Amino acid sequence: MIEREKKREKLVAQYAVKRAALKAIINDQSKPVEERFKATMQLAKLPRNSSAVRLHNRCQLTGRPHAYYRKLKISRIALRNLGSNGEIPGMVKSSW
């Protein structure tokens, strides 16, 4: 799953400029309807995974999609394991 997500990220970056240009044409009300429809069809022909909406945040260590910390780019479980092993400076697992 991690590799699949990396592949999507690469496709999004590759087609970002083209998608933005086509969306600008589609949203421009001053353009003729035929031209906007043609741009819509070209946008539909692009790969689905080139859309930024299809990206999903995943843990970089485990690939887990839930409980993801954006700042650290890892899941809560991976964070807990790294903290318990002392691999994150200043982080100590609480115990009482």
Structure pTM?
0.71
C-alpha distance across the termini of the chain, in Å: 37
Q: 49 and 3 in contact (C-beta within 8 Å)? A: no
61 and 43 belong to one structural domain:
no
67 and 77 belong to one structural domain:
yes
Looking at residue 51, what is its pLDDT? 93
Looking at residue 23, what is its pLDDT? 93
Would you call 71 helix, strand, or coil by DSSP?
coil
6 and 50 belong to one structural domain:
yes
In the chain, % helix, strand, coil (3-state, to 5) comes to 55, 5, 40
Give per-residue pLDDT as tens, 23-67: 999 999 999 999 999 999 999 999 999 999 999 999 989 889 999
11 and 43 belong to one structural domain:
yes
**CATH at residue 36:** 1.10.287.1480
Encoded tokens for 10: 């690469």
45 and 66 belong to one structural domain:
no
| 95: in domain | no
Total domain count for the chain? 2
Range of the domain at 34: 1-55
Looking at residue 41, what is its pLDDT? 94
11 and 1 belong to one structural domain:
yes
| 29: in domain | yes
